[in-house]
Amino acid sequence: MPYIFNLIRNRRDSFYFDKELLKLSKTLTSQSLLKHILTEGDKMMMTKFADEGAQGVYAFVVNYGEFDT
């Protein structure tokens, strides 16, 4: 019976995930979100603030620039 009480008492001190792995996953997630904003941010801003004509010209120029290189 004391074994069960030790498990219950020690449960508060333990974590379901390893602390170092949790810290690493937070870092990688934040870096992934930042990368997504930096790579897709121009498209997000165009859809938010530009009219359809400007969006079409921008899409054409961006896609044409990919063929050039």
* pTM score: 0.58
Q: CB-hemisphere CA count at 13 Å for 59?
A: 11
Q: What are phi and psi of 50, to 5 degrees?
A: -105, 155
Structure tokens at 35: 């990368």
Residue 68 has pLDDT above 80, yes or no: no
- Spatial neighbors of 47 by CB under 8 A, at least 6 apart, are 55
| Rg, the chain, Cα only | 25
Q: What is the tens place of the pLDDT at every residue in 33-66? A: 999 999 999 889 999 999 999 999 998 998 887 7
Q: What is the tens place of the pLDDT at every residue in 45-54? A: 999 999 999 9
